[in-house]
Amino acid sequence: MPLNTENLFITLLLLLPLGAGGTTINRCQDQSGSVTFTTLSCPSGQAITPQAINPASGMSFTPPTQTEKADNLQKPKRNEVVIVGQRDDGCGNILSAEQRRKAIIDQQTPTGMTKRDVESLLGRPDKIISRNAEVRYVYEEKKGRSRQVSFDKHGCVKGKR
């Protein structure tokens, strides 16, 4: 049964998104065998291999060359973790994400929390007192009690003296 123009057009439309949205990243390998991936070019002295990525269908890489296969067979496998980037909260990363979540759940303001964390926890302060490089948030609570949170010059909760 021959394909009519309408069926052919529909078939082509269905296949179109599969190839759209792809990009290329570069695989950089230095003399020691360390591998990094970047959308920019590799530093000088490193081997570059373009890698194809299609975000719509997941990642797909070009297969390794014969020399890469031979290199991988000769080199022992290393199981080391490399941290490419981490969050910098501006307070020296004193609190881990888990400690930060626990403090918010427990309604606490430990040393190392940022102003943003405190405002997320307690809301906008009723009063802000600023002296020299120190800022204090004052929260008026019921029955005449108040809560104060002091920040250093970097906007981080200060420890108790």
Choose one of 18, 42, 74: the last residue of a domain.
74
- Counting every residue, how long is the chain? 161
Q: What is the pLDDT of residues 95-145, one digit of tens each?
A: 888 888 888 888 888 988 888 888 888 889 999 999 887 899 999 887 778
Whether residue 65 sits in one domain with residue 109? no
pTM above 0.75, yes or no: no
Choose one of 41, 74, 107: the last residue of a domain.
74
Whether residue 68 sits in one domain with residue 9? yes
Q: Say if 33 falls within a structural domain.
A: yes
The tokens for 119 are: 């405002």
What is the number of domains present in the chain? 2
Whether residue 61 sits in one domain with residue 10? yes
Range of the structural domain that residue 126 is part of: 97-151
Q: Say if 159 falls within a structural domain.
A: no
Opening angle at CA 82, ends 89 and 84, nearest 5:
45
Which amino acid would we find at residue 79?
Answer: N
